[in-house]
Structure 1
């Protein structure tokens, strides 16, 4: 039924409002006969920055799976999708003139406004840090162990487009993670570089340096590429190995001691899972390239030293093999060691922090702290 001005004025009086309290143009809502199904059409609340991003022609991507929460991504950020309820009715309308744009001149008029939907829930976007362990897990199915280990001439692995479709993170976040982790493109497909291959690459270069009686800081990146090219290593993989294990300053090179130490620990430990600490530290240091000194602190995030056992043991415990659910991860950590210092536990929980929860806040929320001889320790809450 169409309303007239007299009916509108009656409603104003019931609301204890006067005509002078409102604009000259009033909108009269009318609901279309076949209103939208709220289960098929959803409302999404976005920030001003996100609205400008969409308005510029960019896209948002919704990603999810049977075993994962639904997330939404821009080109550079990842957001959680949370359903929120409101006690007010939200109306979906194709257009609505904002009150500030209505000119307060002339005689009063009525404007018919059609409502296409009524909602009491909507979705919020909350900026979050993506969990990228799935990226390593996906690439681990296609390990690269060296050219001589390739069984087929066909390219194997995952293209970047395939990674974007299965990894719950934005394009930029996936690219950044690929740069940090031991992964490289082989014939156009992304592969995870096998620990044994990386160990062999570093050890082979070290043997050349020993044979030539040179230290790493006496050669240039081009020398490394030339020497490793002789063993038919792919150019992109040589570049990746240099970025992983060396600091490059113009034409000068230096071993990244922590990265090399962790690589050699990962190579020495897996088969035994636990190693007599005295034997391990001896073998670990003796295997190192010239100029690299292994420190126990370098094991943080890769292995832990159990001094309570007899004999003391070094146990294989790499961060990337732990579950991404925080309580499950902490349960494993505290079963392996009852009390952790902030320095030793940080590499194991850093990846689970987000924009609102840093390491200290995360540990405060999920663990119990105590101070012994002036040192703060974290232990299980339960």
Structure 2
């Protein structure tokens, strides 16, 4: 392409270039508004993204001190600027170009008007959502007994609004797509109360679960066939708000039957309840495994069968002399970023056997990198003999 004086021919827009045939050429000229135009940036996207972008189903998210990410409805992408050594000309559409053809004749030619030379473009790279901040935000003001009390006066209720977040507040603060954010809220057992997303105070959650289990025994309910209307009604009588009572069923039960025209039927989730009870016991601190198992089995409701295998990713064993001790170490409390996750793990233990390490890394998802790739990047594997279990240490 030749750069010429714009007055020597007819000015054409982007259509003139898009219509070029193979092996043909066109002359270009500087537009009268040519300049750096720093507000114009090129974004290179896969064709599958075009409907999302053209229908405005994407958003840029991030705080002023964070690198921006682009979110579709379901995924999150880092935005990377990639420079180029080639000249990339931006040519606006015809209706944006001034007509420079005052006296067109047969010698006039079409000239594409360049408004900017782009030094590079932005590319999208799929990344894991950054949801660690979500738990920190929701932990600022968990829902507790005092809020559910009818004795709360208006002034106290106003105080409880401090540190609370609506959906739009969370979207503004977190680098995650809407779908990923909802999954994050679900993993924290969050509930929307008066328009704000909340987690329940540990004591409050423990109290309502204990009341549910107590009522199962008191009313001789089947743990595999709990009638929602009946259960919620009894919990309301015990002083729990209806939405919280329903939330308890959603957290600690599995839906059995929607019950068209009738009340929904639930069954107690054996693993969730057993893990919750184990966590409560281990709040007392490290203890011998025999003592822990004895306390745990006493707490588990009749009809449920607790197994130590349920506690993968929740509890670690430690050999001290002849005794085996256990203590709480939950994967849910660890960072979701691989580098930070492995750093915390190797601070806890310098060396990990695979059977112990696997529950704490299997949830890590990095687009474009397999689980084996993560281990190669962040750990050093040793195996004294072919029959020995592999040992992982920090790289």
Same fold (TM over 0.5): yes
User: How has the CA–CA distance of structure 1 residues 137 and 374 changed in structure 2, closer, same or farther, with 3 Å as cutoff?
Assistant: farther
Q: Return the alpha-carbon distance in structure 1 between the equivalents of residues 380 and 74 of structure 2.
A: 35
Task: List gaps (5 residues or longer) in structure 1.
Answer: 6-19, 98-106
Q: RMSD in angstroms over aligned alpha carbons? A: 3.0
1:303 to 287, 304, 315: 315
Aligned counterpart, 1:138: 137
User: How has the CA–CA distance of structure 1 residues 184 and 30 changed in structure 2, closer, same or farther, with 3 Å as cutoff?
Assistant: same
Aligned counterpart, 2:248: 241
Aligned counterpart, 2:157: 153
User: How has the CA–CA distance of structure 1 residues 377 and 232 changed in structure 2, closer, same or farther, with 3 Å as cutoff?
Assistant: farther
Report how far residue 343 of structure 1 moved: 5.2
Q: Return the alpha-carbon distance in structure 2 between the equivalents of residues 323 and 176 of structure 1.
A: 16
Q: Return the alpha-carbon distance in structure 1 between the equivalents of residues 388 and 272 of structure 2.
A: 27
Q: Return the alpha-carbon distance in structure 2 between the equivalents of residues 143 and 309 of structure 1.
A: 41
Q: Render the CA deviation track for 1:17-55: whole Å, top value 9, x for unaligned.
A: xxx9844x72323254650244x4332212212222121
Q: Any idea what SS the aligned residue of 1:85 has?
A: strand
What number of residue pairs does the alignment pair up? Answer: 355
User: How has the CA–CA distance of structure 1 residues 374 and 292 changed in structure 2, closer, same or farther, with 3 Å as cutoff?
Assistant: farther
2:368 equivalent to 1:368 = no
User: How has the CA–CA distance of structure 1 residues 307 and 21 changed in structure 2, closer, same or farther, with 3 Å as cutoff?
Assistant: closer
Q: Return the alpha-carbon distance in structure 2 between the equivalents of residues 116 and 378 of structure 1.
A: 60
Report how far residue 374 of structure 1 moved: 4.5
Alignment of 1:12-91 (within 5 A): 22-23=23-24, 26-32=26-32, 34-38=34-38, 40-66=39-65, 68-91=66-89
TM-score (structure 1 length as normaliser): 0.81
Alignment of 1:161-200 (within 5 A): 161-200=168-207
Q: Return the alpha-carbon distance in structure 1 between the equivalents of residues 115 and 283 of structure 2.
A: 61
User: How has the CA–CA distance of structure 1 residues 270 and 377 changed in structure 2, closer, same or farther, with 3 Å as cutoff?
Assistant: farther
Q: Return the alpha-carbon distance in structure 1 between the equivalents of residues 146 and 337 of structure 2.
A: 36
Q: Render the CA deviation track for 1:47-97: whole Å, top value 9, x for unaligned.
A: 21222212124342232342x432111232211111212221222221389
Aligned counterpart, 2:345: 333
Alpha-carbon contact 2:354-2:390 (below 8 Å) kept: yes
Q: Mean Cα displacement is larger for which, 125-134 or 236-245?
A: 236-245
Alpha-carbon contact 2:148-2:241 (below 8 Å) kept: no
1:322 to 305, 327, 334: 334
User: How has the CA–CA distance of structure 1 residues 219 and 57 changed in structure 2, closer, same or farther, with 3 Å as cutoff?
Assistant: closer
Q: Render the CA deviation track for 1:265-322: whole Å, top value 9, x for unaligned.
A: 33233453x2332222222222222323322222222221112566432222222322
Q: Mean Cα displacement is larger for which, 341-350 or 358-367?
A: 341-350
Q: Return the alpha-carbon distance in structure 1 between the equivalents of residues 55 and 252 of structure 2.
A: 41
User: How has the CA–CA distance of structure 1 residues 342 and 132 changed in structure 2, closer, same or farther, with 3 Å as cutoff?
Assistant: farther
Q: Any idea what SS the aligned residue of 1:216 has?
A: coil
Aligned counterpart, 1:254: 267
Q: Any idea what SS the aligned residue of 1:175 has?
A: helix
Q: Render the CA deviation track for 1:120-145: whole Å, top value 9, x for unaligned.
A: 22211112220212111111112122
Q: Any idea what SS the aligned residue of 2:157 has?
A: coil
Alpha-carbon contact 1:217-1:253 (below 8 Å) kept: yes
Aligned counterpart, 2:390: 377
